[in-house]
Copies of this chain bind each other. A is one copy, B any other.
Amino acid sequence: MDVARSKVSDTGTPVACASCQARHGVVCGALWSGQLRELGRQSLRRTVDAGSEIIAQGSESSFYSNIMRGVVKLCKVMPDGRQQIVGLQFAPDFVGRPFVPESMLSAQAATDAEICVFPRDLLDRMISETPKLQRSLYDQALKELDAAREWMLTLGRRTAEEKVASLLHLIATHAEPQTATTTSFDLPLSRAEIADFLGLTIETVSRKLTKLRKSDVIRIENFRHIIVPDMDELERMISA
C-alpha cells in the first residue's frame, strides 16, 4: 500500500490531525495552534495494515508521518535480496528523513498501525521556521543515533544468544512493566524480521529463543507473546 498515493486517491475530505497534539506526536507537540490548524488541513490520519509499506527505499516520497499507534520498521534491502532492519519506531515517533527527497530506506508497518501523514514540503518549511519543532526533531534524531550505535555494537560484537536477548530487552523497554521485575509483551516482529534485525537466520533465532525458554529466562505463549519473569536476568545475558 502506498500511503502517498492513497491521499490522492481518497475522495473524501482529509481528516484533520487533531489528536496528534494530545498524543504528544513529535511534530504536532512542537507547533502553535495556527500552524497546527494548517498542518491538520494538509494531513491525513491513516490506518495501515501490518506489512504494508509507508515509504519505499529509493523512491521519492512527498510525505512524512507521525506514528500514533503500532510499530514501524525501517529496512534496507540489497540488490541481491539480503536485508537488514536498521530501526524500530514506536508511537509517537516521527518517520521520515527531513531535507532529502529520496529515501535510502523503506518504512513498513510491523504491526497494524495508525499514522498521521502530511506533506514533506510543508513540514520542511515549518522546520526552518519553527525552532521548537526543529529542536523536537533534533532530539529524536539524537536518540535514534544513540540507538543505532548501540545496535551496531550488538550486530558487530554480540553472540547470537546475546543478540536475541538484546532484541527482547529492546522491545520490553517499550512495553510497560507488569510488576517491578516482570514484563510481558507481544513481539511486533516475525522470526524472519527478528533475523533481519539481528543479522542472523530464522533458524538461529528460533534455536536461541528455545534456549532462553528452556533456561527459564523467558516464557513463550503462542509464538508471539513473551513473558520475562525477571528483567535483571535478561539484562545479565546482554553485557558480559
Taking beta carbons and an 8 Å cutoff, which residues of A are in contact with B?
A: 74, 76, 78-80, 82-84, 86-87, 97-100, 104-105, 128, 131, 134-135, 137-139, 141-142, 144-146, 148-153, 155-158, 196, 198-199, 239-240
How far apart sit A144 and B142, CA to CA, in the bound complex (Å)?
Answer: 10
Q: Which residues on B sit within 8 Å (CB–CB) of A131? A: 131, 134
A97 partner residues in chain B, CB cutoff 8 A: 142, 146
A158–B239 alpha-carbon span in the complex (Å)? 24
* Complex contact B83–A157 (CB within 8 A): yes
Q: What are 7 A-B contacts defined by CB distance under 8 Å? A: A78-B153, A78-B157, A84-B152, A104-B149, A148-B148, A151-B152, A156-B198
Q: A142-B98, A148-B152 known; A135 and B134 CB under 8 Å?
A: yes
Q: Which residues of B contact A138 (CB under 8 A)?
A: 134, 137-138, 141
Do the beta carbons of A145 and B141 come within 8 Å of each other? yes
Write the nearest CB–CB distance from A131 to chain B, whole angstroms. 4
- B153 lies within 8 A of A76 (CB): yes
Shortest Cβ distance from A126 into chain B, in angstroms?
A: 13
A80 touches B240 (CB 8 A): yes
Question: Please, how many angstroms separate the alpha-carbon atoms of A135 and B98 in the complex?
Answer: 11
Known: A99-B139, A134-B134, A141-B138. A105 touches B155 (CB 8 A): no
Shortest distance between the CB of A85 and any CB in chain B (Å):
8
Known: A76-B152, A82-B158, A157-B199. 5 other contacts (CB 8 A): A76-B149, A78-B153, A84-B156, A148-B148, A151-B152
Tell me which residues across on chain B come within 8 A of A82, comparing CB atoms: 157-158
A239–B80 CA distance with the chains assembled, in angstroms: 8
Q: Please name the residue on chain B nearest to A77 by beta carbon.
A: B153
Take A139-B99, A141-B141, A239-B79 as given contacts and tell me if A199 and B148 are in contact as well, using a CB distance cutoff of 8 Å: no
Q: Give complex CA distance A82, B152 in Å.
A: 13
Cβ of A141: which chain B residues have Cβ within 8 Å of it? 138, 141-142, 145
